[in-house]
Amino acid sequence: MERLLADLILSLHFAFILFVVAGQLLISIGLWRHWQWVRNFTFRILHLLAIGYVVAEAWLGVSCPLTVWENRLRRAAGEQGYDDGFIAYWLHALIFYEAPPWVFTLIYTLFFLLVVMSWIRGRPRRRK
């Protein structure tokens, strides 16, 4: 059961990252192509808050709760790593990289600035 929950958390973590990265890609393309849906206020505020949370974690040196929960569940399931399990292996390979923490903080911060610049360039609109 713990292994299944760990895989679900890893999938959720992947979905969160996909929302942040693909969301910004779609916002950038949408502003260029004049897609009105990319100005949706709810979508844009959720996107800004998502990357803002990641940047705050990085600057404060806080571990992502999804990573912490997944690791606890994997240990509880008797797992040492990602050597087995299709979902865990591939999602882990896509999400986690080896680099000094400052590299990730820089990347997250620059990405956050890109999101803010998109916010300024293509202000979201609330429905009337």
Per-residue confidence band for 77, with pLDDT thresholds at 50, 70 and 90: confident
**Under DSSP, is residue 63 helix (H, G, I), strand (E, B) or coil?**
coil
pLDDT digits (tens, 9 = 90+) for 62-76: 888 998 898 889 889
**What's the rounded Cα separation, in Å, for the pair 9 and 7?**
5
Domain regions of the chain by residue span: 2-121
Burial of residue 112 (CB within 10 Å: 0-12, 13-18, 19+) is: buried
> What is the reported pLDDT for 24?
97
Q: Give the percent of the chain with pLDDT over 90.
A: 54
CA 53 to each of CA 46, 63, 87, 107, 125: distance values in angstroms, whole numbers, following the listed order: 10, 11, 25, 14, 22
Q: Give the percent of the chain with pLDDT over 70.
A: 89
Across 73-93, average pLDDT = 68
